[in-house]
Amino acid sequence: MNAPVRVRFAPSPTGNLHVGGLRTALYNYLFARKNNGVLVLRIEDTDRTRYLEGAVENLIGTLKWAGIRYDEGPDVGGPSGPYVQSERLSLYRDHAKKLLETGRAYHCFCTEERLELMRKEQPKRGLPPKYDRACLRLTQEEIKEKLDSGTPFVLRMKIPDSRVVWFHDHIRGEVEFQSGQLDDQVLLKSDGYPTYHLANVVDDHLMQISHVIRGEEWLSSTPKHVLLYEFFGWEPPEFAHLPLLLNPDRSKLSKRQGDVAVEDYRQKGYLSEALVNFIAFLGWNPGDEREIFTLDELIREFSLERVGKAGAVFNVEKLNWLNFQHLRKKPDAEVLVMLKEYLTQSAVDSKHFDDEYLLGVIGAMRERVMFVKDFVEKSPYFFQRPVQYDLDVVKKRWKTETTEQLKVLIGEFSRLENPQKEDYEAALHRAAETMKIGHGDLIHPLRLAVSGMGTGPGLYDILFILGKDETIRRTTSAIKRLE
């Protein structure tokens, strides 16, 4: 690549960042880093009807959470600013004026009512759904009269007749459009704000963007952009249009079938590493069987050549598996920080649990949790005494003789001094041999007594973490309550 690589992520501040938007940002970031390039964050806020207060801050926060660091943007500055389109309006108006002067654009005074009626009539007459160029037939005198009288107008680009508009796409290869299929796109709205089409072309040129990597939904707009580059006499960037994201039934990803905002997954406790790893595979693959990647590994491996055209299915089960894998790989000290943060935010009183105790819980539960919250939700007995007992386990494991057997076991436990895991196991074996019963006759009811549940990590791990006094206290309480 001869020219320096400069790519951009250009979201609209209309709400929380969509997972598709995060994928676009991620692929741009990976491509920039792989090629020693620059990633620009540009806020495209020219659609004022959909602007949402606080959305820009949310977008920036989400990108930082995901580890995507841009080099230029509204909060970090750079040589091509400002990076918010509403602060660049004079640039768009100047360029729209140039198109008007060269006959590449024209005034359109049609009202919304007329356009709506036109759109309803066209299908009945077998016509394609596009502007009928009524205002292109106005004389200069008629245009001047309307302008002088203050009639609202928009500026439309004049699509050339009978042209083949061609461009190369890194993912789709050679792409052609007949100009007759294209609408005379509005470039400047009646409120003086540009449409996406004008603003993004002007900004991409002025910001020296070398590659436009964006979603497939913009593919049909690209010929209009190619024409605008031609109208201005500019060299267009290279294009790469990413495949659609699909629901499991292969319909387009939508809220109707699940969460689509990154914030939703963040609030549910997904790790940023897992979500980034998962989203990287929605269209791209490394060409081998590897599935678990860090961000740095993705940078080393990523290429546009390995991005496919086919729609990518958003499989939450795969995301869950990746979250489990990434959580497993984290060192205990890092998980400890996350667990303490979760305890602080939840209703659990964390003052009673020191780091050593929590590290014990982490060690016991690490292979059984998918999320940090699971340390509490799947093993609540580490954080509070059982208030109820699994009735199915009670019926199956708590027999008439269990009470007396556990009392003997409590006697063995009470004689222990600073017991380790193996000491609890040896004491239970002694009690079972004394009473001439199987180890399971004690293990299962003891687990129920201390945890209220019939499953979980190793029993002796639980006893060691809880400690001798708490183990005896819980077993005694269970005897009284279940007798």
Structure tokens at 337: 């920080």
**Unique residue bearing structure tokens 């004689």:** 415
Amino acid residing at 360? G
Q: What are phi and psi of 73, to 5 degrees?
A: 175, 180
- The single residue listed with the structure tokens 């004026």 is 97
Q: Please list the active-site residues.
A: 255
| C-alpha 436, offset from chain centre | 58
**What spatial distance separates the first Cα and last Cα of the chain, rounded to whole Å?**
78
- Do residues 25 and 63 make contact, with C-beta atoms less than 8 angstroms apart? yes
**Given the DSSP bridges, would you call strands 173-178 and 164-169 parallel, antiparallel or unpaired?**
antiparallel
Residues 395, 390: Cα–Cα separation, whole Å:
9
Burial of 14 (0-12, 13-18, 19+ CB in 10 A): middle
Question: Counting Cβ atoms within 10 Å, is residue 368 exposed (0-12), middle (13-18) or buried (19+)?
Answer: middle
Element (H, E) at 404: helix 402-414
- Where helices occur in 221-315 by DSSP H, the ranges are 222-232, 262-267, 272-280, 295-301
